């Protein structure tokens, strides 16, 4: 079956334009106070909000249990290959660069960006070698899911997308995990007898610069920080190509990037961006917006001389010129020498990646827990818990709504439009007032009998994803009215800037999460809007929701939330719906058959799909599974 199109061309730009406009409005709302007392009050409140959004906590009482696997002698320094405990069962791999001599030395934690080899990459190693040659202890660590903490040891893969997003389901974030890992790295440095505990710095590029900013904001032990090619605005993250490790769910509902930068005050902070960066998020113009706003706080704390920026006429990266600026910056603020101007590097030689590995390739012990290991085990724990009982579901729909945050879409019944019929389908454009307006393409086939039931269907790839589905074939054969719609970001109203290398809806889902919304919630709200349209325009008295894959989850959640526009509902029809949103291995080792819509913050911790089913059962709504 080939379904007709509703429009003569896709409606592109609708979503990105609206979400970016919403983000820009919030940038203007989250202004920082100019008065010192007002900032000091906001500072503690903001940190508390940030920890809550990160979903993790730092505990210095947990033993670090540092284990050194080998030591590599170098010219004027040595490299220790080690791993330490960050949280119970979570260990971090790293290299400790230590200058010759007794010290004590100032120290720098060196965090990497999105190169899958993590700290092993030459561009990250180079900072460790250079710092050690210049009298600094340097700890370079692997971010969770990268370097030696990848899913398969020695096989370097991306830690974002479905992998890093799986932590969201547990109420955690990859951003928060990195903050804790790095704070524990700082703790390791401060406990070394040859390190000056009150002279700790931090630096990194791209994703590592982002880590540097967050670590400095949350840990007062960092006395000087230099984030590189990473500072922009949170608003500029929306609908652009940033990683899940840079995502703070709901972050834009209570702060902007200047607020996080200001948490560093009155300590030293130098921002370095590059004029030839290709990512709009990291354009110098975006950085300056955050710099100028955060500067108010540094000035209020009499620390304007501690806050600076430098723009290099270079592409994205931590180039030798930037490393020389790093040395001058740390010399001034950690050693108390010089004037902060760039200092020429001493020659050094990077080592082969395998030589600086903590473990021989392919021989990592099971004690090094990967993100996939962690999510899989946490999922098993949740699935082993007792099934929800009557008390568990008493307020379950209320808490489900809080996690999905579906929009209350209102039908704009003065402006919907019916186009020419085609192949037995009515073609409709259905508008809603929400968020500056939304237009949804709809196909409707009237019932073959006198049924007053309308079956409302969608799929994660839009209406056309139903063409060869058993679900649509079954519904058409039963003779009820059939309504097909393109849900948010799908079909004829697609999301912009989606990368085919990522899990579907990577960009859209991240953008919504920054704004305190979820893609699954948007889909649920649209099922409700379609029910209202069916009641008001198609004379429906009963509705059935249905979908395939993750859209089947949305159909069930919408029914559980009662988004039926006062129509009667007795069943939900699903095809290929997952039994759980916990980690399930796919054929290539990634999570199977999922879109980013399914990574709902705290959903598994709340109760997972089985609690949704319990709500439906309590409401006398059955789930009918359709198979080919």
∠ CA 382-510-236 to the nearest 5 degrees? 150
- pLDDT, position 416: 87
- What 3-state DSSP class applies to 381? helix
Written as one string, the DSSP assignment of 440-451 is EEEEEE--SSS-
CB 148 within 8 A of CB 357: yes
CB 189 within 8 A of CB 96: no
Query: 417-418 and 426-432: which strand pairing?
Result: antiparallel
List the strands of the sheet with 105-111, edge to edge: 67-74, 77-87, 90-99, 137-141, 105-111, 195-205, 222-228, 268-274, 307-312
Handedness of CA 168, 172, 173, 177 (dihedral sign): negative
* HEC string for 471-482: HHHHHHHHCCEE
Handedness of CA 77, 83, 85, 87 (dihedral sign): positive
Consecutive 10-residue averages of pLDDT for the chain (628 residues):
95 92 97 97 97 98 98 98 98 98 97 90 96 98 95 86 92 98 99 98 97 99 98 96 93 98 99 96 96 98 98 96 98 97 96 97 95 93 85 85 91 88 97 84 94 96 95 96 97 83 88 97 97 95 97 98 94 95 67 83 95 95 95
**Which two tokens mark 347?**
């020659």
CA distance 555 to 548: 9
Q: Residue 59's closest CA among 90, 15, 26, 96?
A: 90
Altogether, the residues listed in the chain come to a count of 628
Residues whose CB falls within 8 Å of the CB of residue 527, separated by 6 or more in sequence, listed in order: 456, 458, 545, 554, 555, 558, 559, 563
Residues whose CB falls within 8 Å of the CB of residue 1, separated by 6 or more in sequence, listed in order: 467, 468, 472, 473
Q: Where are the beta strands (DSSP E) in 123-194?
A: 137-141
- pLDDT, position 501: 64
CA distance 353 to 518: 39
Name the residue with tokens 């080690």: 82
Q: What count of Cα atoms within 13 Å lies in the side-chain half-sphere of residue 407?
A: 21
Phi and psi at residue 222, in whole multiples of 5°? -75, 120
∠ CA 401-405-406 to the nearest 5 degrees? 95
- What 3-state DSSP class applies to 149? helix
Q: Residue 557's closest CA among 615, 495, 498, 482?
A: 615
* HEC string for 543-604: EEEEEECHHHHHHHHHHHCCCCCCCECCEEEEECCCCCCCCCECCCCCECCCCHHHCCCCHH
CA distances from 592 to 43, 347, 579, 595 (A): 42, 48, 12, 9
Query: Which alpha helices (DSSP H) does 405-518 contain, by range?
Result: 470-478, 506-514
Q: Residue 49's closest CA among 219, 209, 259?
A: 259
Name the residue with tokens 């001034």: 332
- pLDDT, position 589: 47
CB 542 within 8 A of CB 568: yes
Q: Residue 524's closest CA among 431, 619, 625, 408?
A: 408
- pLDDT, position 500: 62
Query: 137-141 and 90-99: which strand pairing?
Result: antiparallel
CA distance 520 to 594: 12
Which residue(s) pair with 73 in the sheet? 78
CA distance 527 to 422: 23
- What 3-state DSSP class applies to 25? helix
CA distance 306 to 201: 13
Q: What count of Cα atoms within 13 Å lies in the side-chain half-sphere of residue 322?
A: 30
Name the residue with tokens 């006395």: 223
Domain spans, the chain: 14-20+385-625, 31-379
- What 3-state DSSP class applies to 429? strand
CA distance 34 to 39: 7
Enter the CATH code of domain 31-379: 3.40.50.1820
pTM of the predicted protein model: 0.95
Query: 426-432 and 438-445: which strand pairing?
Result: antiparallel
Same topology, domains 14-20+385-625 and 31-379? Answer is yes
**Which two tokens mark 260?**
């996080």
CA distance 231 to 307: 14
Enter the CATH code of domain 14-20+385-625: 3.40.50.1820
- pLDDT, position 58: 98
């Amino acid at each position: 079956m080939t379904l007709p199109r509703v429009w003569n061309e896709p409606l592109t730009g609708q979503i990105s334009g609206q979400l970016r406009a919403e983000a820009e409005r919030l940038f203007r709302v989250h202004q920082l106070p100019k008065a010192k007392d007002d900032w000091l009050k906001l500072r503690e409140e903001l940190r508390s909000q940030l920890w809550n959004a990160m979903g993790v906590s730092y505990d210095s009482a947990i033993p670090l249990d540092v284990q050194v696997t080998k030591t590599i002698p170098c010219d004027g320094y040595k490299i220790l290959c080690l791993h330490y405990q960050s949280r119970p069962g979570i260990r971090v791999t790293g290299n400790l660069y230590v200058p010759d001599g007794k010290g004590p030395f100032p120290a720098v934690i060196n965090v990497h960006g999105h190169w899958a080899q993590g700290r092993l990459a030459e561009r990250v190693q180079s900072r460790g070698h250079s710092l050690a040659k210049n009298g600094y202890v340097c700890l370079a660590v692997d971010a969770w899911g990268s370097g030696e903490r990848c899913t398969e040891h020695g096989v370097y893969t991306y830690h974002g997308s479905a992998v890093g997003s799986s932590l969201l389901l547990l109420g955690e974030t990859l951003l928060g995990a990195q903050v804790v890992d790095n704070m524990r790295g700082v703790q390791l440095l401060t406990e070394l007898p040859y390190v000056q505990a009150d002279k700790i710095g931090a630096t990194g590029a791209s994703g590592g610069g982002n880590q540097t900013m967050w670590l400095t904001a949350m840990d007062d032990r960092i006395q000087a920080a230099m984030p590189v090619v990473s500072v922009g605005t949170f608003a500029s993250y929306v609908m652009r190509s940033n990683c899940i490790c840079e995502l703070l769910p709901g972050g834009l509902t209570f702060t902007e990037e200047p607020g996080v930068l200001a948490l560093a005050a009155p300590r030293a902070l130098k921002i370095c961006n590059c004029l030839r960066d290709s990512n709009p998020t990291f354009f110098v113009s975006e950085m300056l917006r955050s710099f100028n706003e955060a500067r108010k706080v540094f000035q209020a704390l009499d620390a304007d001389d501690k806050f600076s920026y430098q723009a290099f006429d270079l592409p994205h990266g931590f180039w030798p010129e930037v490393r020389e600026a790093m040395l001058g910056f740390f010399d001034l603020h950690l050693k108390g020498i010089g004037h902060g101007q760039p200092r020429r590097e001493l020659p050094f030689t990077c080592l082969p990646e395998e030589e600086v590995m903590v473990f021989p390739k392919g021989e990592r012990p099971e004690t090094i827990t990967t993100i996939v290991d962690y999510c899989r085990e946490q999922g098993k724990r949740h699935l082993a818990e007792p099934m929800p009982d009557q008390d568990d579901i008493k307020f379950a729909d209320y808490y489900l709504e809080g996690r999905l945050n579906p929009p209350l879409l209102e039908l704009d019944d003065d402006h919907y439009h019916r186009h020419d019929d085609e192949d037995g389908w009515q073609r409709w454009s259905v508008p809603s007032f929400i968020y500056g307006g939304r237009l949804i393409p709809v196909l409707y086939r009237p019932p073959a009998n006198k049924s007053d039931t309308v079956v409302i269907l969608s799929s994660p790839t839009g209406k056309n994803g139903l063409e060869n589905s058993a679900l649509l074939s079954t519904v058409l054969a039963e003779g009820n009215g059939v309504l097909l719609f393109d849900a948010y970001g799908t079909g004829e109203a697609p999301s912009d800037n989606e990368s085919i290398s990522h899990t579907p809806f990577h960009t859209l889902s991240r953008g919504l999460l920054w704004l305190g919304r979820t893609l699954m919630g948007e889909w649920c709200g649209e099922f409700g809007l379609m029910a209202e349209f069916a009641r008001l325009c198609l004379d429906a008295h009963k509705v059935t929701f249905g979908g395939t894959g993750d859209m089947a989850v949305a159909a069930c959640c919408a029914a559980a939330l009662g988004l039926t526009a006062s129509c009667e509902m007795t069943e939900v029809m699903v095809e290929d719906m997952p039994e759980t949103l916990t980690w399930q291995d796919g054929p290539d080792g990634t999570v199977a058959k999922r879109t980013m819509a399914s990574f709902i913050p705290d959903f598994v911790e709340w109760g997972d799909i089985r609690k949704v089913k319990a709500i439906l059962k309590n409401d006398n709504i059955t789930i009918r599974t359709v198979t080919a």
